Amino acid sequence: MKLPSELLHKIIKIVNFDKTGETSEKLERWTEKDASTIIGEEIETRIITASGNVVKPKDITSICSVCNKADSETGRSDISDILLCRVCQRKFKNPSGKTLIVSPSEEQELDRNFNEWEAFDDKRKQPQ
């Protein structure tokens, strides 16, 4: 008896990260076309990260605290320690020259504070 021949199609599926369910890495599905052929589908899943990269599900390491999207590489805010994807990370240079990683709202807050300090400084420098 002749064995049926196998035809395997490889498919790559790009999906958004499913936080509630399981995102399977690879799925195989075989269907019998007829007595002599079995058709297989191998579906590999890829995830789009917050920063637009396409990675394997196992490479997802965290969910950003700001935009709530999955990412493969994250940083933490130097102020509040929350997780930030690459898109939501802001760099803020403080007066001593140190660069801090902060969230967009923390950046706004810092900007406002520093502007107030500078205004205060300017007032102080003016001759009486």
Residues that bind Zn ion (CB under 5 A): 50, 64, 66-67, 85, 88
Least distance (Å) from Zn ion to the CB of residue 112? 22
Partners of 14 in beta bridges: 46
Q: How far is CA 118 from CA 92, 95, 111, 124, in A?
A: 16, 11, 10, 10
Rounded Cα distance between 43 and 111, Å, is: 48
Least distance (Å) from Zn ion to the CB of residue 73? 11
Least distance (Å) from Zn ion to the CB of residue 3? 51
In DSSP notation, 42-74 reads: EEEEEEE-TTS-EE-GGG--EE-TTT--EESS-
In terms of CB distance, is 42 or 104 closer to Zn ion? Answer: 104
In terms of CB distance, is 38 or 67 closer to Zn ion? Answer: 67
In terms of CB distance, is 45 or 77 closer to Zn ion? Answer: 77
